[in-house]
Amino acid sequence: MVHSEECDIIFRLKGILEFACQLDNPNGAQSQGTISKSFQGLQSKVSSKNIVLTVCNSPVLIWPNTGFQSNVESLTEASSCGDILQYIELDYSGSKKSSKKKDKKKSGPTVVNMKLLFEVTEPAGNEAPSLIRVSTQQHCVKMPLPLDCVLSVTTDESLTTVCTGLVEALNKQLADMEEVVLRYRKGSSFLVPQPFHFQLPEPAGFTTVIYPAGVPDSQLQDAREDLHKRFKLPSDRPYLRRANAFHFPDAAYKDGYLRNPHIHLNPPNIEDAKLYLVQGVYSYHHYMQDRVDDDGWGCAYRSLQTICSWFQQQGYVETAVPTHTQIQQALVDVGDKEPRFVGSRQWIGSIEVQAVLNQLLGVTSKIMFVSQGSELTTKGRELANHFQTEGTPVMIGGGVLAHTILGVAWSENTGQIRFLILDPHYTGGEDLQTITDKGWCGWKGPEFWDQNAYYNLCLPQRPKTI
């Protein structure tokens, strides 16, 4: 099912089904048929009348395979899926501050979470239990299948259509899981198939891919190549690594860092200007985070951390965002600094940021030099081209300050330009409203820069890989 910008609601259905089968000979020719038969049994189960969908944080129960039946009288097969929202108790506890803003952009579609259940009681029949004795040695295989299906719709779609689509998605996901289990099993050793959702460029849209648990991305290159060909994706950047998985709007990030605060800003009002913005997801790193008091000296370190987080969250690297100490040690390792530099409070600049990115991430960067801040107004075309082609955050250092440039609004006709700045000098908590209202993440004019200071800009380049 395609997820587009016009999507109003994402229905997400999760549940656990237990896979079980008896293998006479795990390596025998018949074992594949036995495994497939067990998956067919699970597909029959999700297509049966016993399946029940419960809407989280609500009293709503739906029986999707009985011509649409609900325990709420007002919800019928003619109801639109938007009607279900009135029964859901919303939890604003984690986002009160950011939800007060009325002039900011909408953060995304509404997510309706659902759980997969089954009725276990049925009318008793006249059948008597039967016992079967098996004298041959068998291997019993059991594992949980973590089903996770999504459906993107507009609010006027019918609930019947949604329920039918979710059951179809369950069946397709089981078929995809069967394929992964068969491909990666070794005898009676099975890897749990795990679903990941990706928001791909149109027309592919919202897509679910099954990967085997325990197999790192580095060993799934062939699978990704096949998927890139199937969805006609570019072959020079990752779209389908686990780190690229779609982040649902209602899910909090566990590490506590804010992601992409710039998406909550309105664009600047410049006639005939186009926006050229960072592509993908980054974390906002700034002064005083991670129990490190770097106020007054650590701004370039924080800008570097933001850049590293971008490469991590786009799937280019699996290493953690480096600490101040690790950044300093990297500069010692490449011969740029003396050993006593580690543990100091010495500043770093764009050249050092370039060196660390290459040393720790294997990422190359271009350096742009301007002799005075007033010249930055003439760099609109080069910065626009960078964000169009590379899409990485840019570190800029001048005088005693460092900032991160996330994009530009630039008019090719008039030359007018505004810079989207992420300021690492912020010392407060992760309060989105304060950060956007006070300009710690915001659009700045040319006067923002020291007109007489020279600046170096570090423009990281994307590795050509999937």
Task: With beta carbons less than 8 A apart as the criterion, state whether 17 and 147 touch.
Answer: yes
Q: Of 44 and 126, which is predicted with more confidence?
A: 44
Q: Could you count the other beta carbons within 10 Å of the beta carbon of residue 191?
A: 17
The dihedrals phi and psi of 423, each to the nearest 5 degrees, come to -95, 115
Cα(383)–Cα(360) distance, rounded to whole angstroms? 25
Model confidence pLDDT, tens digit, residues 186-214: 888 899 999 999 999 888 888 999 999 99
b/e sequence 381-404, b meaning 16+ C-beta within 10 Å: eebbebbeebbbbbbbbbeebbbb
Closest CA to 300 of 461, 446, 383, 423: 423
Size of the chain in residues? 466
Task: With beta carbons less than 8 A apart as the criterion, state whether 100 and 37 touch.
Answer: no
- Residue 460: predicted pLDDT: 98
- Residue 139: predicted pLDDT: 81
Q: What are the residue boundaries of the structural domains of the chain, listed by start? A: 9-89+108-120+138-244, 261-460
- Residue 186: predicted pLDDT: 87
Residue 151 pLDDT > 60, yes or no? yes
The dihedrals phi and psi of 330, each to the nearest 5 degrees, come to -60, -40
Task: With beta carbons less than 8 A apart as the criterion, state whether 36 and 232 touch.
Answer: no
- Distances from the Cα of 293 to the Cα of 49, 108, 296, 330, angstroms: 60, 35, 9, 20
**Of the residues 7, 81, 163, 299, which is catalytic?**
299
Residue 372 pLDDT > 90, yes or no? yes
- The reply to whether 299 belongs to the active site is yes
Average pLDDT over residues 373-399: 96
- Residue 95: predicted pLDDT: 40
Residue 364 pLDDT > 50, yes or no? yes
Residue 360 DSSP label: I
Residue 360 pLDDT > 70, yes or no? yes
Percent of the chain at pLDDT > 70 equals 92
- Residue 94: predicted pLDDT: 41
- Residue 31: predicted pLDDT: 84
**Of the residues 148, 217, 250, 423, which is catalytic?**
423
Average pLDDT over residues 269-282: 95
Q: Of 5 and 298, which is predicted with more confidence?
A: 298
Model confidence pLDDT, tens digit, residues 416-450: 999 999 999 999 999 999 999 999 999 999 999 99
| Average pLDDT of the residues of the chain | 91
Residue 136 pLDDT > 80, yes or no? no
Percent of the chain at pLDDT > 90 equals 78
3-state secondary structure of 283: strand
Per DSSP, what are the bridge partners of residue 141?
21
- Residue 2: predicted pLDDT: 38
Q: Is the peptide bond before 203 cis (omega within 30 degrees of 0)?
A: yes
Per DSSP, what are the bridge partners of residue 19?
143
Average pLDDT over residues 259-284: 96
Amino acid, res. 273: A
CA distance from start to end of the chain: 24
Residue 8 pLDDT > 90, yes or no? no
- Distances from the Cα of 69 to the Cα of 52, 72, 164, 353, angstroms: 10, 9, 12, 60
Model confidence pLDDT, tens digit, residues 208-263: 999 999 999 999 999 999 999 999 999 999 999 999 999 998 888 889 999 999 99
- Tracing tokens 């990704």 back to the chain, one arrives at 224
Q: Specify the CATH number for 261-460; select among 3.20.20.140, 3.90.70.130, 3.40.980.10, 1.10.286.10.
A: 3.90.70.130
Average pLDDT over residues 322-348: 97
Cα(234)–Cα(465) distance, rounded to whole angstroms? 10
- Residue 122: predicted pLDDT: 67
Model confidence pLDDT, tens digit, residues 68-119: 899 998 998 889 988 999 999 876 444 433 333 434 455 578 999 999 999 8
- Residue 3: predicted pLDDT: 41
